[in-house]
Amino acid sequence: MRYFIELSYNGKNYHGWQMQPDAISIQEKLNEALSKVWQETIEVVGAGRTDTGVHAKQMFAHFDVQSQVKEEIVYKLNSILPNDIVVSKLVEVEPEKHARFDAVSRSYEYKIWLGRNPFLLDFYWQIHSQYFDVEAMNQAAKILLKYKDFQSFSKVKTDVYTYNCDIFDAYWEVNNEELTFYISANRFLRNMVRAIVGTMVDVGLGKISVLDFEEIIKSKNRSNAGLSVPARGLFLTEIKY
């Protein structure tokens, strides 16, 4: 039988979602906890991958087991998992349901703190005393909705069948010292959101124009785009099915 598991995590201490030979991942810790509870080898399939240091307010994964779910399973899992990984729900689904392929949209937030705050170091990219033209950044964000090929914002050495993504929504909001970018799409390329944010920050600082931003998309060349911003400000916030 197949189950969907919903969880959240602080990605600071992990090398992303996906299991790796010589690094600790979210997937590894979840596999270990589930296998211990069920007393059988379990390997979860995630709805997507988050990079090293990226956080998730909502992540889904599926896994298959031989026996039915036990009582208080969420409590047991959370007692085994590290404190920075929390399971919120476990639901039995049809055997063909797939956490990755059945997802229709994914949403991310990127958070910037305009100043210095020692209590927010793990969850914001902090920029001291910088003025941002948020209106220009939102003009650039609207341009994203006009295009599908985002090779300019993709990690160069990555194995993908297409660079096309359908972006449904993208915009910036400022609230006192907090500047947040919101974006939703059917799929994302590796490093895509962080590269988009880095390029739009250049727009906000007046280093490039909104027209330059559009030309960067058209170029399909990662070297033309801005720097990849730090992972600590990025959150996977919602996955829809």
Collect all residues with Cβ–Cβ distance below 8 Å to 71 and sequence separation of at least 6: none
Percent pLDDT > 90 in the chain is 91
- Per the prediction, the chain carries an average pLDDT of 95
Give the pLDDT score at 21: 87
**pLDDT for residue 164 is more than 90:** yes
> Could you tell me which CATH class the domain 105-240 is placed in?
alpha beta
Residue range 2-93 in CATH 2.40.50.140? no
User: What integer pLDDT is reported at residue 68 of this predicted model?
Assistant: 79
Residue 129 has a pLDDT of: 67
Q: Which residue has the tokens 């170091």?
A: 121
Q: Where are the domains of the chain?
A: 2-93, 105-240
Nearest to 165 by CA among 180, 154, 181: 154
Check pLDDT > 90 for residue 169: yes
The residues annotated as belonging to the active site are: 51
Three-state DSSP at 106 gives: strand
pLDDT tens digits, 182-225:
999 999 999 999 999 999 999 999 999 999 999 999 999 999 99
Cα 128 from chain centroid?
25
Among residues 101, 106, 107, 105, the alpha carbon closest in space to that of 4 is found at 101
Whole-angstrom Cα distance, residue 39 to residue 228?
A: 41
Over range 4-33, report the average pLDDT: 95
* For residue 149, pLDDT beyond 90: yes
The model's confidence at residue 144, banded by pLDDT at 50, 70 and 90, is: very high
Determine which of 39-48, 122-131, 205-214 has the lowest per-residue pLDDT on average: 122-131
Q: What per-residue confidence (pLDDT) applies to 156? A: 84
Q: What is the mean pLDDT of residues 18-47?
A: 94
Model pTM? 0.94
Give the rounded percent of residues in the chain with a pLDDT score beyond 70. 98
CB 183 within 8 A of CB 165: no
Segments in the chain forming alpha helices (H): 26-38, 73-80, 134-144, 192-204, 210-219
> Mind listing the pLDDT tens digit for each residue in 193-202?
999 999 999 9
